Structure 1
Amino acid sequence: MSKWKKGLSFILVLLVVAVFTACGSTSEETNSGQSDAEVNNQDITIGQINWAENIAVTNMWKAILEDKGYNVELKVLNMGATMKALESGNLDASLEIWLPVQDAIYLEKFQDTVNFSESTWFDNAKVGLVVPTYLEDINSVEDLNEHKELFNGEIVGFDPGAGTMEVTEQLIKDYNLDLELVPSSEPAMLSQIGKAIENEEPIVAPLWSPHSIFSNYDLKFLEDPQNTFGGVEKIHHATRHGFEEDYSEVSEWFNNWKMDDQQIGQLIDYVESAEDPLDGAKKWIEENQELVDEWVK
């Protein structure tokens, strides 16, 4: 081989080495950039359950957090799937845990793998069976067997697996009720309640307060002498392990969060009356900015 060909070959080798070195450097820089992006990740995933107050508060927090620069995704799940997703880390937060009774089964099962907040955002919740107020002879759970024919032997329920549905099943056993709990969904249950009241027909269903339905219809909670549903319930939130360390600021905001009956009732009304729930939540935030500022100070 001639000297000039050897020289050319040597130059080509140097060029190839330089190209690969440059590629390696670019790859390392890219990977480094990706790593930094992951560390500074502002994405938060919140579980949403198709209950009126849950849709309201999840959209409220989506609006609040996105205004602060976070990217918030709402994932629609049932309660059981929500707990499993928090346990696996596929979900960052769930904003509605009713204690000490309604969601006690989830606290017992997941207390070691999910963070349940000590703080509460609503302190005067109530759960029980309800009937229309025009059913004057039915005021206690103990009255139901005597009038079971009125209800076709059914208690109209909502999402299977919800804590309140589990407690209602226990209630049927505690009172030896000759009625069957029929699961459906919250919208379907509310629709059935509305149709029954429109025709002044009897209906019995498990419900909870706060809920917008009480501003639409005259309903009464049945007395529960054995206290199966418990007394006053408090609403907590839950997060995946590590959330407090990854999002200390948001964790503090969640712990500062407090609402009363009037505030949550108005929020639910705004969210339900808006074409987009997020727009309804934003309207409520605008009118209650001082309260929100107390949470995110």
Structure 2
Amino acid sequence: MNVKRVGQLILVTLIFVVLAACGSTSEDANSDKNSGEAKDSKGTITIGQINWPENIAVTNLWKTILEDEGYEVDLKLLEMGPQMAALASGDLDVAPEIWLPVQDKSYFEKYKDEANFFENPWYDNGRVGLAVPTYMKDINSIEDLNKNKDKFDGEIIGFESGAGTMLVAQDVIDEYGLDYKLSPSSTAAMITSIKNAVKDKEPIVAPLWKPHYIFSEVDLKFLEDPKKTFGEIEQIYMATRNGFDSDHEKVSNWLINFKLNDEQLGDLMNKIKENEENPIEGAQKWVEENQDVIDKWMK
């Protein structure tokens, strides 16, 4: 074999050795990477979401916080009834908005043994009732509605039928003997109806709640509720599926520590509304500006 032929064989052999080494290194690196991903994975947390302004705000807030901590978060858009049923069956991890003592009492009573309802609220200054535009000067109480039935065409414009407030609104109709029909729709449709009515200075009555940005956009007033059927001050609680606190002890403690006051919740809702097309961006801005608040929840 001549010297030239030997040189070619040596070169080919060296190339195979180098390629094999590179492949091995690449596979080892990928193996280490995948191993690290598995080790660092904290799992997926599913949170129920309802198309209410404060709910969109809070669910996106927690999605931002938890994903920053390495969790995957799946927001599931479910109305209140299906959401509570999913929580009780274990198909949902967190239901972030339970209004008590009145609005969601029926859901609490039904599922209190099948889910973990938190002892303390994350918001403690809620209000719910029937609302009308402030220019309706002669209508100030629920008791004024029957004698003004024709103005409203005997209709109360509502939102999602399974919401606790809609169930209580039907109780109000029965309790006060109102000759009115409660018309369900969606939250967005109800808000649009209110804005259109106010724009044209027409009568409208709807079940509403605070906190809600609509009160900063149009002038509305709650009707007096002498029988307190809607209750007085409402508080908002979280609930988790049974076993969530042991599966995700840290997250459970963070949610227990979660608290917002009027100013904080209002600011969060405004940032979400400013980023309606991508609410997570609004939540991220709030997180950046309120890290000291968040740090207190995550002790």
Shorter-chain TM-score range: 0.7 to 0.9
2:107 counterpart of 1:106: yes
| Paired letter, 1:214 | F
**What is aligned with 1:29?**
none
**What is aligned with 1:79?**
80
CA distance in 1 between partners of 2:67 and 2:239 (Å): 20
8 Å contact 2:130–2:223 — kept in the other structure?
A: yes
CA distance in 2 between partners of 1:39 and 1:212 (Å): 39
- Residue aligned with 2:208, SS: strand
8 Å contact 2:141–2:225 — kept in the other structure?
A: yes
CA distance in 1 between partners of 2:222 and 2:261 (Å): 20
Deviation of the 1:39 alpha carbon: 12
C-alpha distance after superposition, 1:118-162 (max 9, x if no partner): 121100100000000000000000000011111111000000111
**What is aligned with 1:239?**
240
* Alignment CA distance shift 1:52-1:198 (3 Å): same
* TM score, norm. by length of structure 2: 0.86
Q: 1:285 aligns with which of 255, 276, 287?
A: 287
Give structure 1 regions of 4+ aligned residues with deviation exceeding 2 angstroms. 37-41
Deviation of the 1:41 alpha carbon: 4.5
| Paired letter, 1:77 | L
Equivalences, count: 264
- Residue aligned with 1:224, SS: coil
1:101-250 → structure 2 map (5 Å cutoff): 101-250=102-251
**What is aligned with 2:268?**
267
C-alpha distance after superposition, 1:143-194 (max 9, x if no partner): 0001111111100000011100000000000000011100000000000000
* Alignment CA distance shift 1:228-1:287 (3 Å): same
* Alignment CA distance shift 1:222-1:288 (3 Å): same
CA distance in 2 between partners of 1:262 and 1:181 (Å): 32
Q: Structure 1 stretch 261-270 or stretch 201-210: which is displaced more? A: 261-270
| Paired letter, 1:94 | A
Deviation of the 1:38 alpha carbon: 11
**What is aligned with 2:23?**
none
Q: Structure 1 stretch 154-163 or stretch 255-264: which is displaced more? A: 255-264
- Residue aligned with 1:62, SS: helix
**What is aligned with 1:294?**
296
CA distance in 1 between partners of 2:182 and 2:128 (Å): 16
8 Å contact 2:42–2:70 — kept in the other structure?
A: no
**What is aligned with 1:60?**
61
| Paired letter, 2:287 | I
- Residue aligned with 2:201, SS: coil
CA distance in 2 between partners of 1:280 and 1:47 (Å): 19
Deviation of the 1:40 alpha carbon: 6.2
* TM score, norm. by length of structure 1: 0.86
| Paired letter, 2:170 | E
Identity of aligned residues (%): 57
CA distance in 1 between partners of 2:222 and 2:270 (Å): 21
CA distance in 1 between partners of 2:78 and 2:203 (Å): 31
CA distance in 1 between partners of 2:264 and 2:151 (Å): 36
Deviation of the 1:111 alpha carbon: 0.7
CA distance in 2 between partners of 1:77 and 1:153 (Å): 30
| Paired letter, 1:263 | Q
Deviation of the 1:263 alpha carbon: 1.1
CA distance in 1 between partners of 2:220 and 2:248 (Å): 41
Deviation of the 1:287 alpha carbon: 1.4
